[in-house]
Structure 1
Amino acid sequence: MIEIERKFLVKDNSFKTTAFAENHIAQGYLSSVPQRTVRVRIKGEKGFLTIKGISNESGLSRFEWEKEIPVEEAKALLLLCEKGVIDKTRFEVRSGNHVYEIDVFYGDNEGLIIAEIELGSETETFEKPSWLDEEVTDDKRYYNSYLSNNPYKNW
């Protein structure tokens, strides 16, 4: 499956008033090399194993495969991950025909808030809420796999 998404920094916390979902997420990487990231995630009470390929030139599209796994297995796999487990809360907000996933980071990435929107094509139009800031889709520093090894606090 090909994932098409755009990433933005977020100006403030005003998005929280319209969020319809909120989940704590802990995630780590068994492999964080750009050619194939292998991620373990616990989101709420569910575990996931995700493999992502390298992004295309625009940074908008890449292969993604995800499988739900028992949360106990995800907890065990997190212990095998590279250093820098990501700790964040994900809020989901509807805007027009889309849903933004807004991640508020903690720990070594405290102060960082990123919104992502998944699209059906690279040219699909979408609404931009007032809380969106600069687009960072093509800036690899904002990939979670990068943040796990190079936390925001060190920038």
Structure 2
Amino acid sequence: MTEIERKFLVLSEAFKEEAFKKTTIIQGFLNTHPERTVRVRIHGNKGFLTVKGISSEEGLSRFEWETEISLKEARSLLNLCEKGLIEKTRFEVKAGNHIFEIDEFLKDNQGLIIAEVELNTEDEKFSKPEWLGKEVTGEIKYYNSQLGINPYNTWEK
């Protein structure tokens, strides 16, 4: 139940040509406490409830528990979420032995594209596609829970 992932900014939209899957995601947070977040997500036509713990010092790993819930329950819970729902399109791209999930954010976070790769160990090696940019692992402002509170379109560029 420990999630290990690294996050990167994306340099171009070239990943779209490599994607084997594309899904719409709407999510909100019932709780954005620094030590734990509780997320409600509609991923395609499925609902999920996810609890995440505090990140490790470098931001690479943290506790994660997720369970599928009905679409009706997810829609109802989204109405209870804190201000700032997140909407994004997720693209999945295979690179070497790993799958990158690339989120193209919409609405208040339009213009932000983040790629994540899940790993089995913190020091696991992985192939880096050409479109992969600066690593932002551990930078809290890029956490989805923070993008609802402080959306990308409010950042000083």
After TM superposition, the score normalised by the length of structure 2 is 0.98
Query: How is 1:22-37 mapped onto 2 (pairs within 5 angstroms)?
Result: 22-37=22-37
| Cross-structure match for 1:85 | 85
User: How many residues get paired?
Assistant: 155
1:138 Cα deviation from its structure 2 partner:
1.6
C-alpha distance in 2 between matches for 1:8 and 1:105: 14
Deviations along 1:81-127, whole A, 9 cap, x unmatched? 00000000000000000000000000100000000000000000000
- For structure 1, the residue ranges without an aligned partner over 5 or more in a row are none
1:130 Cα deviation from its structure 2 partner:
0.2
1:64 Cα deviation from its structure 2 partner:
0.0
After TM superposition, the score normalised by the length of structure 1 is 0.99
Does 1:116 pair with 2:116? yes
| Cross-structure match for 1:133 | 133
Letter aligned with residue 12 of structure 1: S
Secondary structure, counterpart of 1:147 in structure 2? helix
C-alpha distance in 2 between matches for 1:30 and 1:58: 25
C-alpha distance in 1 between matches for 2:57 and 2:143: 15
Letter aligned with residue 126 of structure 2: F
| Cross-structure match for 1:150 | 150
| Cross-structure match for 1:4 | 4
Letter aligned with residue 64 of structure 1: E
1:33 Cα deviation from its structure 2 partner:
1.1
| Cross-structure match for 1:104 | 104
| Cross-structure match for 1:53 | 53
Letter aligned with residue 69 of structure 1: I
Secondary structure, counterpart of 1:145 in structure 2? helix
Secondary structure, counterpart of 2:111 in structure 1? coil
Letter aligned with residue 44 of structure 1: G
C-alpha distance in 1 between matches for 2:14 and 2:114: 13
| Cross-structure match for 2:69 | 69
C-alpha distance in 1 between matches for 2:14 and 2:147: 24
Letter aligned with residue 83 of structure 1: K
Secondary structure, counterpart of 2:129 in structure 1? coil
Letter aligned with residue 47 of structure 1: G
4+ aligned runs moved over 3 Å, structure 1: none
| Cross-structure match for 2:16 | 16
Letter aligned with residue 46 of structure 2: K
1:58 Cα deviation from its structure 2 partner:
1.0
Sequence identity, in percent?
A: 63
1:34 Cα deviation from its structure 2 partner:
1.8
Secondary structure, counterpart of 1:123 in structure 2? coil
